[in-house]
Structure 1
């Protein structure tokens, strides 16, 4: 049986925790305390593997690679020493710096939000008032639109055309009534009466023919769908 040299024992203590384990490993729940000392390290017998592990340890864990076996045992044995070493790691310091900056930024944002609370509440009240005003204006708009539609009904093209037809018919009947009344007189008709009759009858027939012409044009335009531009006014 060959004796183990002190250097080999020291290397075994340093590298044994990186030896892959066999079979599934049950991980304990997360604790903030320092883990118990582990003395069941299995150092590989192949010197090449030992060299590779030492190189990997120096690349990935430089703070542990430079420590002796006694130092590593002290880190596992003393909680304060282990915590001080962990706190001195660059990654831990960077993480805590980022955590501090994040907390400071959150506090700043919280202060900004709290300082804007009164303004936001006032803006919300203004928005509620504007919404109520907009709702009342919308209701008034609907009322005005309905009033406008009601006012437009008597002046729709169809109703105006019907009124024009009624006017043409009334002028024709009025002219015929004047003519029948003049012809039904038994007494002697003076010349002045004849002149008055002719003037009145002529005016009535002129109005009749003018209205009849507009009625025909309007009726043709209404049937063709191009009623715009046709004079339908009943004023003379």
Structure 2
């Protein structure tokens, strides 16, 4: 009988201890109550500090509470290790909250990176300012060289145009035209010689006949030679074998 009562007492004690532990864990999430049972009024805080969690509704499910506690330990370990009083102090006192935030490793790393970035920007600014005079001189030299290069380019275009003007009389098209004119001129000379010989009313002796034949044959031979060269040159020009010289330079 005594053993049974002892077991019941032990069971009641363990149950009370478990209930006390559960109440201690849950009490961190419950709003703090005063003597009259109502919530304790906290001092108004600055907007930069999170709002007091006096109106937080504790989930009824133990699994949900366990999940939230685990998430709190994983994502906010610095807050998870604090008691309810400490959390209320952080919400009540702005300086204490700011000191806690400043002590976070992520914040310290961010400020270290910010400091290094600012130092590097200042160093680069000093380097750029020290090179200002040198850059100004280089800019002036570049402007002078650009003007000189522009003048040389203009002179080059002038010389090329002069060269093209000198080549115009010797272009394939003009030479072909001159060859055609020469061919027509020789043909006209031969026709004039034959007409003058045939229009003579006086008696023509053998010497005049020999001179006419010799002169006419020479003119006709010259005409046929010029005509043959003219046809060959015209065919070559039409086929593109003879490249013409441009009349002007496109800038």
Q: TM-score range by the shorter chain?
A: 0.5 to 0.7
Superposed displacement of residue 40, structure 1 = 2.2
Offset at residue 42 of structure 1 (A): 1.9
Pairing 1:27-176 to 2, within 5 Å after superposition: 33-35=48-50, 37-155=52-170, 156-158=174-176, 160-161=178-179, 164-165=182-183
Question: Whole-Å Cα distance in 2 between the matches of residues 105 and 128 of structure 1?
Answer: 32
1:137-164 CA distance string (max 9 Å, x none) = 2222222232222212222423542575
Structure 2 unaligned regions, length at least 5: 1-18, 32-45, 198-210, 243-251
Deviation of residue 206 (structure 1)? 11
Give the equivalent residue in structure 1 for 2:12.
none
CA distance in 2 between counterparts of 1:15 and 1:207 reads 130
| Aligned-pair CA distance for 1:37 | 3.7
Q: Quick one: structure 1 residues 149 and 116, their matched pair in 2 at CA, closer, same or farther if it must change by over 3 Å?
A: same
How far the C-alpha of 1:107 sits from its partner, in A, is 1.9
RMSD: 4.1
CA–CA distance in 2 between the matches of 1:148 and 1:59? 85
- Please give the TM-score of this superposition, normalised by the length of structure 2: 0.58
Moved over 4 A (4+): 5-10, 162-173, 204-214, 226-229
Q: 1:213 to 1:15 in 2, by over 3 A?
A: farther
Q: Distance in 1 between matches of 2:95 and 2:156?
A: 78
Report the Cα distance in structure 2 between the residues aligned to 1:134 and 1:207, rounded to whole angstroms.
59
| Cα distance in 1 for residues equivalent to 2:217 and 2:27 | 130
Cα separation, partners in 2 of 1:14 and 1:158, compared to 1, 3 Å: farther
Question: Do residues 11 (structure 1) and 29 (structure 2) align?
Answer: no
TM-score w.r.t. length of structure 1:
0.61
Cα offsets for 1:48-103 (capped at 9, x unmatched): 32222222211111111111111111111222211111111111111112211222
Higher relative contact order (CA 8 A, sep 6+): 2
| CA–CA separation in structure 1 for the residues paired with 2:24 and 2:182 | 121
Distance in 2 of aligned mates of 1:129 and 1:171: 65
Offset of 1:167 from its aligned partner? 8.4
